Amino acid sequence: MKKLIFVTGGVCSSLGKGVAASSIGALMDARGLSVRMVKIDPYLNVDAGTMSPYQHGEVYVTDDGAETDLDLGNYGRFTNSPLSRANSITTGQVYRAVIDKEREGRFLGRTVQVIPHVTDEIKSRILAVGKDPEVDITIVEVGGTVGDMESIPFLEAARQLIHEFGRQNAVSVHVTLVPTVSGGELKTKPTQHAVKELQEVGIQPDALVLRAAEPIDEGLRRKIAGFTNVEFEGVISAHDVPTTIYEILLLFHEQGLDSFLLKKMNIESRHADLKAWREVVRKFREPRRRARIGVVGKYMELHDAYKSVWEALYHGGIANEAAVELVKIDSSRLEGESADVDGVLGAVDGILVPGGFGERGVDGMVRAARYARETGKPYFGICLGMQIMVIEAARNLLGWSDAHSTEFDRDTPHPVVGLLEDQVDVKNYGGTMRLGKSDSVLKEGTLIRRIYGAERISERHRHRYEFANAYRAEIEAAGLRVAALTPDGGLVEACEWPGHPWGLGVQFHPEFKSRPVAAAPLFASFVAACVEHGK
């Protein structure tokens, strides 16, 4: 029978449920089992696409164009689970589906209620993800904290599935906090109360993942086991690690969490092959080189806004056995007559300008691109970062000081970046925003073609503005080379500075497909160029 693992959280939010769920998935992958991951978000939004980065952090995009929670990024980096819109479930999706069915008369006049109609919809969505005969385990992370009003229908659905499947086929992993009070003493009372709240909704946890700053000793874990009716082998210390989040799965494995869960679910598997993950951690611990990379963007004070970019840069470091130091630079610091551009950017080995929306800080990004082009410093532009290269070339190579994107200046006399529908027939591109997987054809003799080693690639997009085709010939003639196009030639996918050591911008988001055990090619090459420049 199919197996289910539910991952819930207690005490407070932001304890690392996503990393815990991803680590469990990676351990099951390493044992040769086929895993699928599901994230449940209790908010009423249908998806994360309209949320501010300050509210929700990064929007992670799947191949089929779903705009999802950043935890799906962790799933993609840790596991082999394919990801699509089916892997992200929100309250908004569930209630919209139930109401649509009610309007269509599919409930045959019955009163529509949370139980059974809403919970049945949740259960059907969870089970649909693992319906493939090849799938062994579906891991379901329930967002929020047990006790939140918004989470109640999802916890009830989980309770029903555990009851229907049986405790040998559906298990519960509860992530809780063991805080440290003055004097350094670890307190177990919050975990005891968190487990009691989960028991009150009818779920007895099979395993506890205890978040703490320091390792939790055996005596304390035995105490928690006794108070919570959880077997001692299932009480796991998830303390802070000194290297990287990718060490967490090794920490779980050393304490036997994967073996314990497999025993609970009566699954036989091969021994876990963790050689690749051990090598990842070793390279973090023992780098042979270093690179300081300046990331020039709008949301620098919020780490989660560019979560996949940070991780992809670290992956590039792993590929080069290099320690990557991130220097977060608010692009507004580079604006104005008094801005010390050389003082800010001169100390980094490379510059990356990521995606973003809104006008704030754009001129600072243009200055960063010009500095990189003129000094020969490696430059990597992603989405908006490529459009910045176009604006910079128009202003400083063609002399059009008023050149801009219509996203930021609708009345610019030189709209070198414009809306998708102004460039092509949008009926062929699925609407006014390009979302999800799309192919690019790489021109021969270009840097990007050399990096990928292929003529045609597939990467994920999330944008509605493009390099304006009306200006393509003039800007190319001035010195910004178009390096990749869509298969029909209608849209520009990459630009390069000819003769530059490493100056490349792409319209897509390669960070979404990068993994610690297989860095995205562009990030591996960019970090290598930064290491070389740093010498």
Q: Do the Cβ atoms of 167 and 7 come closer than 8 Å? A: no
d(CA 276, CA 489): 39
d(CA 220, CA 155): 28
Which of 363, 360, 375, 368 is closest to 341 using CA atoms? 368
Burial 321-350 (b: 16+ CB within 10 A, else e): ebbbebbbbbbbbbbeeeeeeeebbeebbb
Structure tokens at 403: 């050149």
d(CA 60, CA 435): 11
Cβ neighbours of 488 (radius 10 Å): 11
Structure tokens at 22: 């991803």
The pair phi, psi for residue 118, each rounded to 5°, is: -70, -45
Q: What are the DSSP calls for 372-396, one per residue?
A: HHHHT--EEEETHHHHHHHHHHHHH
Catalytic residue status for 383:
yes
Pairing of strands 434-442, 456-463: antiparallel
Which of 224, 237, 165, 244 is closest to 6 using CA atoms? 165
| Catalytic residue (choose from 404, 414, 461, 509) | 509
d(CA 148, CA 159): 16
Helices (H), 201-345: 218-228, 248-254, 257-264, 275-285, 307-319, 341-345
| Catalytic residue (choose from 117, 511, 530, 533) | 511
CA torsion 128→129→133→138, rounded to 10°?
-120
| Catalytic residue (choose from 383, 407, 459, 500) | 383
Element (H, E) at 89: strand 88-90
d(CA 278, CA 250): 8
As annotated, the active-site residues are 383, 509, 511
